[in-house]
Structure 1
Amino acid sequence: MNLLPKPSSAQITWMRDIRRHLHQHPELAFAEFATARCIAEELKKMGIPCREQVGRTGIVATLGSRETDAPCVALRADMDALPILEQTGLPFASEVPGVMHACGHDGHVAMLLGAAALLKAQEAELPGRVVLLFQPAEEGDGGAQGMIDEGGVDGVNMIFAGHIDRLYGVQEIVVQPGLISAYTDEFTIEIRGPGGHGAKPQETSDCILAAAQLITSLQGIVARETHPCCPAVITVGTIHGGTAANVIASEVILTGTLRTTSPETRAGCLASLQRMTLAMEQLHRVATSFTCAEGYPPVINDPGAARIAAEVAATIVGPDKVRSQPQPSLGGEDFSFFLQRIPGCLVRFGAKHTELHDAPAHSPRFDFDEAVLPTGAHFLAQTAIRALEHLGEMLDSAHDSE
């Protein structure tokens, strides 16, 4: 394996400054205009050509060979923020009210730019082509699919990405083949009745009572209807209903998320959600409707790509710092759309914060240890090279067997 040098102290400072700039100026899904401009400017300073406005606000940059039949590896970073009011008190806290980088995407962008710098320094020796994907709208809007639709991964043979994870220490990298995240479906339940006076419940139907019983009953699906070895979560996230203390509501709307890790469990849970919703009609004399919005498919890491990632991780942080993920996360990731098209692997970069122990991802107090930035950049760049070498070896073997 052609080993790259670690990021220099100047490059580490540069990555940190980029991360902090992006953290101060977060942008929501498909509104990452200033973020994209910042990325494009940094790429152009390095002499790396890029295509802008891919999948609306995404960027695709290319390094290495221009031969159409050359092996090609893609590296991806997501770049959108969340609709959260920041409460970290950091000197570089968000300057945009109600918008915050609370999932580490600012760090992902900085890492991929750092990897670009490391690869650019070795561009003449690259055994193929590297595509850099700066993707919009990972947080629930599925920006990956737009980049695929607009040719962002055309010709790519393998793809890699990483996600900052505060459950693991700095210098730890988590690599796991197979399924590592969940289906992310969202549902809406509407309950309607005639409404009425709060003092005369016998004259009407109580939508709030029906909603309360339904919310409690739904938890029985996971507890009693799914296989104990197949993880599933049903969460009701919002309840909207009622207008006054002495009025029986005529409408309640519930929204929630269903997280599952197998097609069979997913189908069974959806059927049970519909069945229990419909049962409220007989129990409480109300009208109901159930709708489901299909979310992201699960992330399923390719075994071959995972072996490459594990090999590189061992060289970057040492074999004792390479962790496995025996249980899938029930979080979602639209990197899954890339993996439906191309073999690849998503890893996790340990970034445990030394002080904020009670501020997980999507918390208004979220932050991570910036020492993860050079680790992530070095891993991504080195993985691209090792994957290109692997793909080249496969091509040579195929030619020899002809």
Structure 2
Amino acid sequence: MALLPPCPDTALMRELSETRRGFHRIPELSWTEYLTTARLCTELEALGFAVAWGQALYGTQQPPNPPDVETDRIAYARAEQVLGVGNRYLPSMQGNRTGLVATLEGSLAATEPGPVFGFRFDIDALPVTESQDAEHQPAAEGFASEHAGIMHACGHDGHLTIGLGLARRLAASRARWAGKVHFFFQPAEEVAGGGLLFAGLPQMAEVERFLTLHLGIVDRYRIIFDATWIAARIYDVVFHGRASHAGNAPQDGRNALLAACQAVQGLYALPRHSAGMSRVNVGRFVSDNAHNVIADEVRFRYEVRGADNEICDFMAAAAEQVLEGAARMNGVTWERQVFAEFSSYPNSRALAEEVAVTALEIGLPEALLQDSFLVSASEDAGFLIQKVREQGGEATHLILGSPVGGGHHCGTFDFDEQMLGWGVLLFERLVLNSTQT
């Protein structure tokens, strides 16, 4: 395995490590990133960015898949306790309006032409309990999660750290560059709601060059400059039957549990698609019925995925036939609603190739560079990439590969912090190469 050289800017690395560890301690679930958002707003405004957050940012848009009321209440109360009831950022975020957009113009923008850059950094964590093993660096060095049952187990603490590090450097060099930068600190990537909502923001309509990234993924050191992700559709299903006594009158019942079980079996039996990768999974199944009652209601959540949107649509349509068939066989009804969607969209080759050249410029070894890669997971940045490309801009997704401990979404997840410094330097050079005079 090719090794990653240390980031040459040791002062930058000390700063980024401290920032990352601070945010790693305070993970927040999707749509409840109140404390994270407020702290980002505070620093970005101090750096001179124009910051939009809360109601002013969302306008008439509503979070499409917010958490339950109690989860939200606990998260907001925790943020209030840390920041104080009078914090200026929190009130406008109520109702799960988390995340922000920070904008800065170079001082030469009035006299020199320059592109509008967009950078997206996701900020949410996962309902994962962090390992306390001595081999797990956050636990060993005292920066493990302080929020029980919640953890940055997918690197988003690193993503937002790269965003802050880049913001600090561009603010410091503002007098030397033209153009404009929008920083999208996006909530709710893990439940695929934030990307679709942020794609509709007016700031996205201005973006001409768009970049986003993910740490880890390939479990080895690698800089992938044209990464795409498979599409996904996630659904919540309810089967409605008729209850009756299982011993005394089984003939009067309509068994929703049996129908749901047959549906699940049918979903896993779906044929895959020869044109590319396809997936199906049932991740949640609830039948809250007594043992002696014919079940009248069953709920479950399933997902289908495909290497592109067309394959994913094929899988979704086939799954719908399975659900309808299972319901008809058992004389029950069913309903389905979308919980979340992930879009797959191709990157801009010209921008991806520019990233590769820039990586060499800043000192990353050619042996670590990789061209294209299809990730067998999903990422809602696809909606943002699609938005920029459809309006005539360029966009690409990077992977800053690193060993990741026990793997993504695992209690022992971690990454090599040296990637933080390289990520900042890479994005900074891309901006300066395009706008500096």
TM-score, structure 1 length as denominator? 0.83
The 8 Å contact of residues 207 and 286 in structure 1, kept in 2 or not, is answered as yes
Please tell me the root mean square deviation across aligned C-alpha atoms, in Å.
2.7
2:386 equivalent to 1:339 = yes
The 8 Å contact of residues 402 and 415 in structure 2, kept in 1 or not, is answered as yes
Aligned match of 1:61 = 103
What is the Cα deviation at residue 15 of structure 1? 0.8
Structure 1 residues 138 and 292: alpha-carbon distance in aligned structure 2, compared to 1, 3 A threshold? closer
Q: Which amino acid aligns with 2:122?
A: D
Matches within 5 A, 1:283-294: 283-293=329-339
CA distance in 2, matches of 1:137, 1:298: 17
Aligned match of 1:70 = 114
Aligned match of 2:300 = 254
Which structure 2 segments of 5+ residues have no match?
Answer: 1-6, 59-96, 134-138
CA distance in 2, matches of 1:292, 1:384: 38
Q: Which amino acid aligns with 2:34?
A: F
Aligned match of 2:347 = 301
CA distance in 2, matches of 1:32, 1:375: 26
What is the Cα deviation at residue 344 of structure 1? 0.8
CA distance in 2, matches of 1:271, 1:154: 32
Structure 1 residues 72 and 282: alpha-carbon distance in aligned structure 2, compared to 1, 3 A threshold? closer
2:359 aligned counterpart, secondary structure: helix
Aligned match of 1:49 = 49
What is the Cα deviation at residue 59 of structure 1? 3.1
The 8 Å contact of residues 43 and 49 in structure 1, kept in 2 or not, is answered as yes
Aligned match of 1:210 = 259
Residue by residue over 1:235-257, the C-alpha shift from the partner in whole angstroms, topping out at 9 and shown as x without a partner, is 11111114223333121112111
CA distance in 2, matches of 1:20, 1:263: 37
What is the Cα deviation at residue 291 of structure 1? 3.6
Aligned match of 2:35 = 34
The 8 Å contact of residues 82 and 101 in structure 1, kept in 2 or not, is answered as yes
Matches within 5 A, 1:116-155: 116-155=167-206
Relative to structure 2, which stretch is displaced further, 275-284 or 128-137? 128-137
2:232 equivalent to 1:181 = no
Matches within 5 A, 1:384-399: 384-388=431-435
CA distance in 2, matches of 1:299, 1:284: 39
1:18 aligned counterpart, secondary structure: helix
The 8 Å contact of residues 192 and 380 in structure 2, kept in 1 or not, is answered as no
Q: Which amino acid aligns with 2:50?
A: C
2:279 equivalent to 1:233 = yes
Matches within 5 A, 1:82-101: 82-88=126-132, 90=139, 91-101=142-152
- Counterpart pick for 1:157 among 172, 188, 208: 208
Equivalenced residue count is 374
Residue by residue over 1:70-124, the C-alpha shift from the partner in whole angstroms, topping out at 9 and shown as x without a partner, is 3222222111222333334512111122322121111111112222333344433
The 8 Å contact of residues 189 and 253 in structure 1, kept in 2 or not, is answered as yes
Structure 1 residues 371 and 166: alpha-carbon distance in aligned structure 2, compared to 1, 3 A threshold? farther
Residue by residue over 1:142-188, the C-alpha shift from the partner in whole angstroms, topping out at 9 and shown as x without a partner, is 33444454432343210111111142434x211226xx112221222
TM-score, structure 2 length as denominator? 0.77
Q: Which amino acid aligns with 1:368?
A: F
Which structure 1 segments of 5+ residues have no match?
Answer: 1-5, 393-402
The 8 Å contact of residues 181 and 330 in structure 1, kept in 2 or not, is answered as yes
2:378 equivalent to 1:377 = no
Aligned match of 2:24 = 23
CA distance in 2, matches of 1:137, 1:181: 17
Q: Which amino acid aligns with 1:174?
A: I
1:271 aligned counterpart, secondary structure: helix
CA distance in 2, matches of 1:8, 1:87: 31
Q: Which amino acid aligns with 2:110?
A: E
1:59 aligned counterpart, secondary structure: strand
- Runs (4+) of structure 1 exceeding 6 A deviation are none
Residue by residue over 1:249-290, the C-alpha shift from the partner in whole angstroms, topping out at 9 and shown as x without a partner, is 121112111212334323322222221111123422332334
Structure 1 residues 272 and 105: alpha-carbon distance in aligned structure 2, compared to 1, 3 A threshold? same
CA distance in 2, matches of 1:289, 1:43: 45
CA distance in 2, matches of 1:292, 1:77: 24
